Amino acid sequence: MKNSNPDDSSVAPIGFLVIDKPAGITSHDVVSRIRKRFATPKVGHLGTLDPMATGVLPIAIGKATRLVRFVSGSPKEYTGRIRLGQDTSTCDADGEPAGKPRPVEVTGKQVAEAMASFLGNLQQIPPAYSAKKISGVRAHRLARRGVDVRMKPVEVFVETFEMLGWTSPELHFRAVCSPGTYIRSLARDLGSMLGTGGHLGSLRRIRSGPFRIEDAAGPDQAEPADILPPEHVLSDLPRIQVDDAGAEFIRHGRPVDIGMQEQGKGAEVCIFNSKDRLIAVGTRNEGWANPEVVLL
């Protein structure tokens, strides 16, 4: 579903882009390119990808940057390759070798069985070279200064971790997991379990919540027609509709009586006007809709 009403070039775009991030650049580099391409400073990304990784990087444009907290970031889906036999400093192919290479004397069946043990809820230790903060400082900055970084485990959920192919010492895999899961840590921990060591050789994200690789464009090829309207991305939120008088209240950031529409406390909702256009996103509470982000 594309944004079909970009006729007025004086109106700043509002919506989301699915960018297919190439390898070798940061997520911030992509944001900078989109700012220039669409001539707007209001651009942000939803979920960082490491420089070596490719694939789905959702981008918010214009007032959609204020809607990021309403967008589901789950699940994340990846494909990639894990190379056994060598640990690295960053747990991926961009890092320096850590320790000596080890022989890979395991079968594909043994690898698949080990992978199955990572399903479900895990206490995962993030890589030292990561964006996690320690006393307010990014862990990767401390690691690059030679500081002995001790990362605390975090709970993650791995729905799928399956083998797509095996040619020793390299494993082709698919993973579906919760936000905050480090695939580099899965690679490191799989190698540790098998006694071979290992690191992430390549990674491609093919889904992030409602954003899919099928809808993606390159950062230098994205066009206004590629912008997904907010209502498309927020389609899982309940929908309420207000009349013209209610829309005027919403426009000024005031709550409006919605009667029996979508009763409940604190639930997030999309608010549409009488012309079936999304005008705000907010919360409902005991028969009232409270706009939090007004789009019109």
Active site positions, annotated: 50
Per-residue HEC secondary structure of the chain comes to CCCCCCCCCCCCCCEEEEEEECCCCCHHHHHHHHHHHHCCCCEEECCCCCCCCEEEEEEEEHHHHHHHHHCCCCCEEEEEEEEECCEECCCECCCCEECCCCCCCCCHHHHHHHHHCCCEEEEECCCCCCCCEECCEEHHHHHHCCCCCCCCCEEEEEEEEEEEEEECCEEEEEEEECCCCCHHHHHHHHHHHHCCCEEEEEEEEEEECCEEHHHCECCCCCCHHHCECHHHHCCCCCEEECCHHHHHHHHCCCCEECCCCCCCEEEEEEEECCCCCEEEEEEEECCEEEEEEECC
